Amino acid sequence: MIWQNKQCHQLEGGKGEVSGPPEIAPTVQYPVDEKLIEDFLKGDYCLYGGTGWWRYEFCYGKKVNQFHEEGDGTKTVIHLGSFNRENHLKWLQDHTNKRPKPHSERKQVSQYYTGGSVCDITKKSRSVEVKLKCKEPGLTQNAISLYLLEPHECEYVLGVEAGFLCPLIQEADENGEIDLQNVLKKRVNL
């Protein structure tokens, strides 16, 4: 299956006026495994990242965990957060700069996962902002990059960059949520 991502851009004149018809950007095609997209949006296909002592697991719409696995297979898991729509919407209300940009400017969307393990330092539940970013296809079009930052004690940012996210990000609603049923409906109509 090939997904197409069509973005329209308007050329602006010297005073912000539209100068002529909109210019349509070239169609970018993304080869996508339909089952992978469906499983990813259901939270059944999780992404893993990290090197060294701590690694992390991201299951869309469900959870973000940080873990360490010993040689004998035993795991230490720190739950960084779960997706809760009500908490996500409140976070967007409090952080309006995290709302998705208009479709023509959109390269990423953020989602907020809360209710993680209690932090020993802050005595509060951990939370994580998940930034889903479009990674334009190139030599590594199938690559998925994940990184985890901790800008404040027990408050994290998980970056997820991949080519398969590009058309999904365009399907996100005004709250940065991607609805599987809408995506499936649009795929049928391509």
Q: Identify whether 29 is part of a domain.
A: no
Q: Identify whether 182 is part of a domain.
A: yes
119 - beta bridge partners? none
Say which DSSP state 96 is in: G
Q: Are 127 and 80 in contact (CB under 8 A)?
A: yes
Count of structural domains, the chain? 1
- 189 exposure class (CB count in 10 Å sphere: 0-12, 13-18, 19+): exposed
Q: Which domain holds residue 78?
A: 47-188
Q: How many CA atoms lie within 13 A of 150 on its CB side?
A: 8
CA-CA distance, 20 to 10, in Å (whole number)? 8
Per-residue confidence of the chain (190 residues) as pLDDT tens digits? 333 333 322 223 333 333 333 333 334 444 567 888 899 999 999 999 988 899 999 999 999 999 999 989 899 999 999 999 999 999 999 999 999 999 888 999 999 999 999 999 999 999 999 999 998 766 566 788 999 999 999 999 999 999 889 889 999 999 999 988 887 776 655 4
